[in-house]
């Protein structure tokens, strides 16, 4: 009797992980893709660039190393 109960619980757990965990993984991938396309303004020249391409220095975003040197 206990073995059957454990088997049913295991099957329910496997079904949960197969169907519901994949959906949350896909959702987190979509969130990362959306954040990758977010644009930020360079604090020196005002050009917008993607956050992944921007340089973060002293709490400010820069579009290139030239703008970082110019700020100093």
| pLDDT value, residue 11 | 92
What kind of fold does domain 38-72 have according to CATH?
A: Wheat Germ Agglutinin (Isolectin 2); domain 1 (3.30.60)
Burial 36-70 (b: 16+ CB within 10 A, else e): eeeebebbbeeeebeeeebeeeeeebbbbeebbee
CB 36 within 8 A of CB 52: yes
| 22-70 confidence digits (pLDDT tens) | 665 555 555 555 555 788 999 999 999 988 889 998 889 999 999 999 8
- Kindly report the CA angle at 34 between 55 and 51, in degrees rounded to 5? 5
| pLDDT value, residue 20 | 77
| pLDDT value, residue 47 | 93
Block residue for tokens 């340089």 = 55
| pLDDT value, residue 7 | 93
């Amino acid at each position: 009797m206990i073995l059957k109960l454990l088997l049913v619980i295991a099957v329910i757990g496997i079904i949960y992980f197969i169907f519901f965990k994949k959906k949350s993984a896909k959702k987190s991938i979509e969130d990362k893709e959306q954040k990758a396309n977010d644009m930020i303004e360079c604090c020196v020249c005002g050009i917008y660039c993607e956050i992944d391409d921007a340089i973060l220095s002293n709490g400010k975003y820069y579009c290139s190393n030239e703008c970082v040197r110019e700020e100093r």
